[in-house]
Amino acid sequence: MSYAFDLGRKVAIVTGANTGIGQGIALALAQAGASVVAVGRSSMDETRELIAPTKVPFRAVAADLSSLEPIEKILDAAEDLGRVDILVNNAGIIRRADAIDFTEQDWDDVMSLNLKTTFFFCQAAARRMLKDGQGGKIINIASLLSFQGGIRVPSYTASKSGVAGLTKLLANEWAAKGINVNAIAPGYIVTNNTEALRQDEKRSAEILSRIPAGRWGRAEDIGGAAVFLSSQAANYIHGTVLPVDGGWLAR
């Protein structure tokens, strides 16, 4: 592996790493040499087994990020492995309903986890990264709906549009201090969040017909982008929202 992409001796926190995109990112970072702190609400056994062959240090932290309370505890646990160099804010939820019927609870739940927790985790990690002047890498997980409106997901669209804007704001404030803040905007990826779409034969066919790559994305498709943005190769990249979408936005 080229030195520019080598994450050896780095410590990375990945939220929502028990499945899907978060699991794919955690595995990719581990394969690049990073020690991984995997955060999630459910069992991390599968992620642990996938990462085990890399021989990198691994720690699973059970936490519900629908509140801010676990953030400092997660950072403390991560520092048992060393200085936190990389934070990937992947944890998120989606609720689907027509806008005319959307509930306040579904709005608040999604906005709290996807946007509020993302901001305050960035803040808490940056405070520690700034303390020793060594900087770090923060990667937020945005969405195609950071660029488009979508349908039947009003709070998800609002939250992911917010993540894109927040990423740029934090980059403006922290770039000169050595912290790179960027985001990845996954396209239609095979995860739990897209299961309802994939089970809808008509909607799935409509989606697939627009993807130039001709397939749904896989979690590992996001991993390479995460390694790049976490590495020295991306030292001069700040405030970017990188689509990994099989060409969806190009069509």
* pLDDT value for 1: 45
220 found inside a domain:
yes
CATH number (domain holding residue 60)? 3.40.50.720
Number of domains composing the chain: 1
- For residue 43, being part of any structural domain is answered with yes
Please tell me the predicted confidence (pLDDT) of residue 196: 84
pLDDT above 50 (res 249): yes
For residue range 55-101, what is the model confidence (pLDDT) as tens digits? 999 999 999 999 999 999 999 999 999 999 999 999 999 999 999 99
Helix and strand numbers (H, E) in the chain are 9, 7
For 167-183, what is each residue's pLDDT tens digit?
999 999 999 999 999 99
In a domain? residue 251: no
Domain membership flag for residue 119:
yes
For the annotated catalytic residues, the residue numbers are 156
Task: Give exposure, 203-221, as e/b (b: 16+ Cβ within 10 Å).
Answer: ebeebeeebeeeebbebeb
DSSP H helical ranges for the chain:
20-31, 45-51, 71-78, 104-111, 118-131, 154-174, 195-199, 201-210, 219-230
- Does an H or E element contain 173, and which? helix 154-174
Give percent of the chain with pLDDT exceeding 70.
99
Residue pair 222/191 in contact (Cβ under 8 Å)? The answer is no
Establish if 60 belongs to a structural domain. yes
Mean pLDDT of 104-112: 98
In a domain, residue 180? The reply is yes
Q: Is residue 250 one of the residues assigned to a domain?
A: no
Residue 200 lies in a domain: yes
Q: What Cα–Cα distance (Å) separates residue 101 from each residue in 51, 109, 152, 195?
A: 42, 16, 10, 21
Quote the pLDDT of residue 193.
Answer: 78
Predicted confidence at residue 2, as pLDDT, reads: 53
Q: Check pLDDT > 90 for residue 194.
A: no
Domain that holds residue 48: 3-245
Q: What percent of the chain has pLDDT over 90?
A: 94
